[in-house]
Every structure is written in structure tokens, then in C-alpha cells.
Chain A
């Protein structure tokens, strides 16, 4: 009886495999290059948001674009990784006088997220967020149900008019789906999907370049591993349709920023190696400006993260020239994120005063060129 059952199951598996092969989506391992923006107007730089948490900490801001508006989100609570941390946000709308910030407030609470999770489950604390550019109202959030950041998972969330509507975890690890986090924005691919830079924070640590299918489910993941270091928080910058550079934080206090390269659209990544760029084990934000030029917001002092500077590279990240010092000697200014908003201006946000508040600056390409 057992043999017949096994044969029947094997035949069934052949049918299931045929169906899986028929419905699979073929991934295009090529990057979609952003359109180059040329400086046409006068240089402009403006601080558009300066927020201090009433109590506790506000940290790790992200930028969510929504047509002609944008949101800045961050996590806020008594202290990072505590059981009272929720995701807060502020909405920016464009008026004749420029961008106007709404009232900051919670947008995703732990209880609400636990309720809409599929399947319903406990959420103890929340962390880094990034926009899910694959989906309208989409956001990825770092979620912890037990333990600390090393036990985190990445949740795919949907936000609508009524608030949080739905969530599920991305499947990234066979160890109870634990220890994956996000920090940096998604990467546009030539097949109109987006890849998600993520990282594994337990043990050896490594960066990951996660491909998602049209349903937003993980369908591939490639590692950015290190040699004698602990790469996390990859910031991926496409340089051509097949080449990209990833800047990674060294979780070990080496005092140096790490870098990894791909020559095949993210299919494989070189070993993450140290650069000459000083770094106090802090993530960086970067943006491709076209023609091999990269704009980066970074903490470039190995001794501390109180100095945040903007630098530009004209040779795909091999050498850098500092163009502006944004913060210095006023507490840590960390976790920058850079994105282009509608109209082509560049938005930079980061936490300041050692995780006490969130700042955001808006500037244009002409300002970058003028520095």
C-alpha cells in the first residue's frame, strides 16, 4: 500500500512541478537606470523638517513617495528595540510657498500590525522602514516578535486611507525566518520590478539583494558576504544596466566603510572589502546622479557619528569630495536616507541629537553642482 501511495504522490508532484514551471516569472537581472537630471534652476537648499521626540527616541527615518507628495517615517518610543516603539510619519504636501509638513504622528502601531498580520501574530517592537515601491501604499518594516534586532524579520505592509490594512513577512531565512532587516531604498530593475537590499544580522552577517515577484513574494536572494568583516545595511547604487556598487556598514568596529560590486545585475556580488572611507560603523545613503557620479550622505569620522557630510564621487565611488558638512558636534546624526522627490529635487533625512529627533533637507541638483 505504501509503495502505491508513494508512486501516486510522485506523479502528483510531477504535475505540481509542471504547473510551477508554467507559472514562474523569469527574472531580468538588469537594472533600470534613472533618468539623468540636469540643473536648470538656481541653487536651493532648505531644511524642511526639524522634529524632536517629546520623550524617548526617534530614529531611522525613511522616505515614502506618493505621487506629488511624500512621507517621512521613523520609529519612535522610549528607546530603540523597546516594547513601546511604533512607526511615526509626517506627510508633506506641495503648496505655492514650497513643501508643507503635516502633523507628525503614529502611522503603524505594534498592536494594529499584529492584528492585520497574515497570520495574526505578536509584534513586540518595530524598527527600520523603507518604501515598497512594488505596491501602492506599500512599506517594508523591520519587525521583532521575540528578542532583539538579531531576531527581526522583514514585514511587507499595506497602508490605505483607513490606515494599516494588511501585512505579511518576507520569507528570507530557514531559521524561523529570523534576523533579516532592511535599511536602504529598493532598486528598480529593467523588468519593472524592484529589488530589496536587506541584511542578515546574526553570526557572520551579510548583505542580501532580494528579488520579489509580481505578487511581492521573495523569489530569489543573493548574498553580499564579507571577508574578515561583517557587512550589513547595503546601499545599492546602479551604475549601468548590469553594474552596481553597494556600500555597506561594517558591523565590526573596523572604522571603514565596506564596498561590494556586481557586474551581472545583482546575480552575484564581490566580497565586501574595506574602502578608504572612514566610518564609525554607521549606514550611508547614496544616490546616482548619472554619468558615474554618486552623491552620498555619510558619517566619515571613524571615532564618532556626530559629523554628517555630503560627498560626491565622479568616478563611480572610487574617490570622494566632501561638498557640505550638515551636522557636527551636536550629538550623533545617523541613518541618512536620500531620494529624489517629484520635480527632481533631492530629499535627505536623518536622525539627529543621538536618536532624539528627525531632520530633513531638500535641495536641488543646481545646489549640488554649485558646491
Chain B
């Protein structure tokens, strides 16, 4: 990911974390504003610090999926309607994504990740994701798929499409969401 795009995504990510912490003390919109402002300021003034260089080193390539999901949550907080993912949909995602990651570890003799370097399979995957978005009503799936494809086609960031639309941190995040729903 190039430096400018990474900085924007990093600001969104940090803003989201600060928003979460601030929401423990402040009302909804105020916490969101604090998060946005603090995320932007942190990246503006501390981008060269060891802490932020370390976060980039750990999370790179960031892809578009985390920033778009965070923005979706932020828009939800200010009242824009969106349809949350159901538990079955989240479980379905994990059922597909965990074997995908396992295959990259050599656990499965198939290399799914390699498909993400090639234009024709990627074209089919994006259309399949758009179809999935239409069937489930989650337009955000199509948005992630096509924004990720645009970055991939114009060689901004990773040379593998999957890096733009997936991120390993989605596994623990999805599990946390599922557990919260079970407990709540």
C-alpha cells in the first residue's frame, strides 16, 4: 500500500479504536468526533514514531476491508441505516476464510491465494461477490470487492487481490462479534 493511502487507512483504524474508548465516557456522536479528530492528529504528528511504524509493519497490507467496515459502523452511528451481518453469514465467512488461510500455511495442498494474482479469476470473484451482495442485500460486500479491485488493477498496494479485500484480523474480530451476540 502506498504511503498516502496507508496513512488514511491508519487514521481510520486509530480513530475507530479511540472512538471505542471514548464511547465509554462520552455520548455517541461526541465520541465519534473525538475518534475522527484524534485518529487524524495521531497520523499527522506521530506517523514517524516507532509505535505507528510498528502498527503498519504488523498490519500491512491493510486492504480496504477494515477501513470500509469501520466507516460503515461510523455512518451507522450517525443514523444512516445499514443491515448488520447475521450470525449465519459471519459463520459462513469464517467457514470459507479459515480454510483459505490454512491453505496458505501448507495445511491444504491447494494454493487458493495464488488465484489472486490473475485478472480473469479475480474478475469472476468480484462478480460473484456482487451477486452475493445482491442476494443478501449487503451492498457493502460489492463496495469492498470493487474498491479493492480498483486498487489492485491500478497497482496501489498489494499485487494480490485477496490482500485488498481480506485481512487476517477479520478472524478474531468476527469471532468476537459472534461471541458478543451469543452473550448479549
> Which residues in A have some Cβ–Cβ distance to B below 8 Å?
2-3, 5-7, 9-10, 12-14, 16-17, 19-21, 24, 114, 118-123, 145-146, 169-171, 173-177, 200, 202-206, 213, 215, 217-223, 225
Contact = CB atoms under 8 A, between A and B. Distances in A.
B60 A177 contact: yes
B160 A171 contact: yes
Interface in B120-134: 120, 122-123, 126-127, 130, 133-134
Interface string B1-34: 1110011000000000000000000000000000
Given A16-B150, A171-B159, A176 B107 contact: no
B123 A118 contact: no
Interface of B: 1-3, 6-7, 47-48, 50, 53-54, 56-61, 100-101, 104-107, 109, 111, 113-114, 117-120, 122-123, 126-127, 130, 133-134, 137, 139, 142-143, 145-146, 149-150, 152-153, 155, 158-160, 162-163, 166, 168
Given A9-B130, A119-B1, 4 more contacts: A21-B120, A24-B119, A122-B56, A203-B107
A167 to B, nearest CB: 12
14 contacts: A2-B137, A10-B130, A16-B126, A17-B119, A20-B152, A24-B118, A118-B3, A121-B57, A145-B57, A146-B57, A175-B105, A177-B158, A203-B105, A223-B106
Contact of A6 (B50, B100, B142, B155): B142
Nearest to B56: A121
A144 to B, nearest CB: 9
B143 A123 contact: no
A181 to B, nearest CB: 14
B105 A13 contact: no
Contacts of A218: 117, 159-160
B81 to A, nearest CB: 10
Does more than half of chain B's interface fall in helix, strand or loop, or is it mixed?
helix
Contact of B54 (A118, A146, A202): A146
A109 to B, nearest CB: 14
Contacts of A200: 105-106
Contact of B130 (A13, A122, A202, A203): A13
Given A21-B123, A220-B117, A175 B133 contact: no
Q: Most chain-B Cβ atoms within 10 A of its Cβ — which of A16, A21, A123?
A: A16
A165 B29 CA distance: 44
Contacts of B57: 121-123, 145-146
A10 B133 CA distance: 10
A217 B156 CA distance: 11
A9 B100 contact: no
Contact of A175 (B7, B101, B111): B101
Contact of B106 (A3, A6, A121, A203): A203
A122 B155 contact: no
Given A10-B127, A16-B153, A146-B54, A119 B137 contact: no
Contacts of B119: 17, 20-21, 24
A220 B142 contact: no
A102 B58 CA distance: 37
Contacts of A122: 50, 53-54, 56-57
A247 to B, nearest CB: 19
Contact of A174 (B113, B118, B139, B145): B113
A177 B163 contact: yes
Given A20-B123, A119-B6, A171-B160, A176 B139 contact: no
Contacts of A5: 139, 142-143
Nearest to A215: B155
Given A118-B3, A176-B58, A17 B53 contact: no
Q: Most chain-B Cβ atoms within 10 A of its Cβ — which of A120, A174, A217?
A: A174
B111 A223 contact: yes
B120 to A, nearest CB: 7
A16 B163 CA distance: 17
Contacts of B117: 218-221
Nearest to B167: A176
Contacts of A119: 1-3, 6-7, 56, 60
A120 B10 CA distance: 12
Given A9-B142, A21-B119, A122-B50, A176 B59 contact: yes
For the complex of A and B, the 8 pairs showing the least CB-CB separation, nearest first, are: A204-B106, A145-B57, A17-B123, A119-B6, A20-B119, A217-B159, A121-B57, A122-B53
B80 to A, nearest CB: 12
Contacts of A170: 159
B166 A20 contact: no
Nearest to B162: A174
Contacts of B158: 171, 177
Contacts of B56: 119-122
A152 to B, nearest CB: 12
Contacts of A175: 101, 104-105, 168
A221 B104 CA distance: 12
A171 B163 CA distance: 8
Nearest to B105: A203
